[in-house]
Amino acid sequence: MDIPTAVWVHYEYLHCGHPHTATQRFRLDLPDFKCERLAHITNYIFAKGYLPCKARCLVSWKGASGKHVEENVKVEDVLSWGEGTCSEKPLRLVIGEYPWTCLSADKCLWIVDM
């Protein structure tokens, strides 16, 4: 089996007046991009400014089927499930709901083993 060189992420905004979505491809073979777990992709998205920092507590991951995926899951495991391997079956970064680890919009507790 070929090892994917990219992961596809679909941004899904829940509380927008109109449906606003975007899909982005992240290359996994970049030398300065640590991408062992989904949390690394989340951190990269916020570090690069693709989403505003204030939204950090409002994001969670789902597979293409809508099943919740924890941030501490290894990217290679998610890709082996067939999730995020192409633009037709991207991982979904849901923006606008409080993940179970979020205490409130202004106090966030993220427990991720990095």
CATH number of the domain where residue 67 is located: 3.10.20.90
In-domain check, residue 113: no
Query: For residue 83, what pLDDT band results from cuts at 50, 70 and 90?
Result: very high
Largest CA distance in the chain: 44
- Position 83 in a domain: yes
Q: Which helix (H) or strand (E) holds 9?
A: strand 6-13
Residue 110 lies in a domain: no
Question: Is 26 in a helix, a strand, or coil?
Answer: strand
Asked if residue 15 is part of any domain, the answer here is: yes
Strands 91-95 and 68-69: unpaired
Prediction pTM value: 0.78
pLDDT tens, 21-53? 789 999 988 888 778 999 999 999 999 999 888
Asked whether residue 1 is domain-assigned, the answer is no
In a domain, 106, yes or no: no
Nearest to 82 by CA among 95, 94, 69, 71: 69
Residue 12 has pLDDT above 50, yes or no: yes
The range of the structural domain enclosing residue 20 comes to 6-95
Specify the number of domains making up the chain. Answer: 1
